[in-house]
Amino acid sequence: MPVRAIGSATVSFGLVSIPVKLYSATEAGSSISFNLLHKDCGSRLKQQYLCVKENVIVDRADMVKGYEFAKDQYVTFTTDELKELEEKSTQAIEITEFVPAAQVDPVFFDKAYYLGNEKGGEKAYRLLARAMAESGRVALAKYAARGKQYLVMLRPTSDDKLVMQQLRYADEVRDSKEVPVADADVKEGELKLAMQLIDQIARETFNPDAYEDEVKTRVQAQIDRKVAGQEIAISPTEAPKAQIIDLMEALKASLGKRAAPPPKKEAAVAEGSEEERKAPKRSERAAAEGGRKKKSSKE
């Protein structure tokens, strides 16, 4: 089923305008969610708002929005006033600068959208994507939509397509310096072992198909059991594992373990079919037959 566009916009690149369509890059609907039900009859519950002062349920028609400027003190706004505060949605993605891709910390990343070209913008679209890929830079831009102004980053994919990555503003991201981390002396031997451990399970490419949400799979299986009328077996609480104090011993033990298995598709090719694994090797069969012939000749 072809993906459907969720909106249109125009990428402004100098004096060049590129009409594009926006597509969701992720699928939120694939997650498992639960509804709140009445324990006695199993009916779904409806959310209601309660006035804490008068202890009465308030209908939406009687609600107004307010901003708390001091403790329990609010200034209220009408619907028209709130609309006046909103950013005018121009649907324009105005590129302000290009920076090296490595300079944008992923901690700023928020939602991602694929950009596809509108009719007439094919060449300009491909030109921008390829130019950024060749330069190793990404574009920072302003994007006004849905009453807000967003900071976004445009980056090329490996097949010369564009991704619009919504970014958080600086005041929305905590400085890593605020996180308390104690100083520690890392010894050369420990660093060497850690590097060996990294090399042991390192890969040159990221294959997302090799990973799956194991918790989601397990939860879905248990849901199917409940639907089928079966009960979920409650596992006993595991005792906390002992903490390993000796870092060198922990690294050595980790290196002694088998390396992480390759992605599933690679594993299937390398290991062969189950029938091939069960079948004895030719050399083993030949040796066994030779042994039986020698034994019969002696007899």
Model confidence pLDDT, tens digit, residues 183-227? 999 999 999 999 999 999 899 988 988 988 888 888 999 999 989
pLDDT at position 135 over 90: yes
Which amino acid would we find at residue 35?
A: N
Which of 140, 142, 172 shows the shortest CA–CA distance to 155?
Answer: 140
Residue type, position 150, single letter: Y
**pLDDT confidence tier of residue 294, bands split at 50, 70 and 90:** very low
pLDDT of residue 278: 43
Average confidence score pLDDT of the chain: 84
Residue 208: predicted pLDDT? 87
φ, ψ (nearest 5 deg) of residue 125: -60, -50
pLDDT surpassing 50 at residue 274: no
* Residues of the chain above pLDDT 70, percent: 83
pLDDT-based confidence at 242, cuts 50/70/90?
low
The 10 Å CB-count burial string (b at 16+, else e) for 116-141 is ebbeebeebbbebbeebbeeebbbbb
Lowest mean pLDDT among 159-163, 209-213, 253-257, 283-287: 283-287
Q: In the predicted model, is pLDDT for residue 267 greater than 50? A: no
Highest mean pLDDT among 29-33, 104-108, 262-266, 279-283: 104-108
Q: Is 209 helix (H, G, I), strand (E, B) or coil?
A: helix
Extents of the domains making up the chain? 7-28+87-172
Mean pLDDT of 244-262: 72
- CB distance 74 to 67 below 8 Å: yes
Class of domain 7-28+87-172: mainly beta
